[in-house]
Structure 1
Amino acid sequence: MRWQDIDQQPCSLARTLAIIGDNWTLLVLRDCFMGVRRFDDFQQRLGVTRHVLSDRLRKLTEGGVLDKVAYQERPLRHEYRLTAMGKELYPVIVHLAQWGDKHLAGEHGAPLTRYHRQCGEPLEAQLQCSHCGDVVKPTDIRVEENPYWKGQILVNC
């Protein structure tokens, strides 16, 4: 399988990676969740080339993760706002950052700490069952194939 064809796979993770699966895109999303909206601000914070940033913002907009909204008419300027679909990626970003904090932060510790506004305590993101509320570990999960796909070869799922 070639990377440019990954969005054609039946696997939801593969299709997701087609939109958000590279380092610059995840960093753009991180900055979106920290309130960055304008092209020049993204470029200044990330140090990415205009071409690469423009490409990533276009993919996120076409993928429905960001909306491109005009904030100035003369000259025309846009900002990028998370859609409802984009906001649903926040747990993904938090879990990735938390994994990095735990395994890659080094001797000085994590660069940022996320706090729960209601109780003021540091946040530890966890996977939780929406039915019973239990915290779920990988060994607590059973995966079943959708009946539509039964018998078909799902090499990449």
Structure 2
Amino acid sequence: MEIVRSSIIGGIAATAVLTALLLVSDSLIGGTSPFVFATFMSLCAIGGPPYCEPSSLMATAMTFLSFLALFALAWPLLFGAFTWGLPGESGLTHGAVFGLVLYAGYVGTVLYGIGIGGETVAENLPLLAVMVFAYLAYGLVLGGVYDRLAAHRTFLSPNPD
């Protein structure tokens, strides 16, 4: 299967796992916004006042759609383009590394938000702890599915002969 299709199918599977983990963690952590997804991005800066109200249907829908576009399309295509450069011999290892790189970017945005928002690290610690596992699971599923479908490089890939 071609690289783009393998990446997108892997991204859809990984996004489904990530979404399930986020919904479960949102119910367990409690006190967060309607979805943990709101921690990924703020559409208020992009779309203006209609997207600033966290309880509005438009803001929730746009946040979820942008979440899907990022995690089901953009990150998987980036993964497919650079998976050969990641350390490790298997798609699972490549996916785990990729997930941890994404998590590092997430931590950077959280720390930036703490710096300008007056929150503390202690308030965000439960979410940061859950997110490392969520991003790792995302990367493992993305790398594993990609590896099975790409059929061009690692031990999980079916032999085309």
- TM-score normalised over the length of structure 2: 0.27
The structure number with the bigger radius of gyration is 1
Which structure's relative contact order is higher, taking Cα pairs within 8 Å and 6+ residues apart? 2
Greater share of residues in strand: 1
- TM-score normalised over the length of structure 1: 0.28
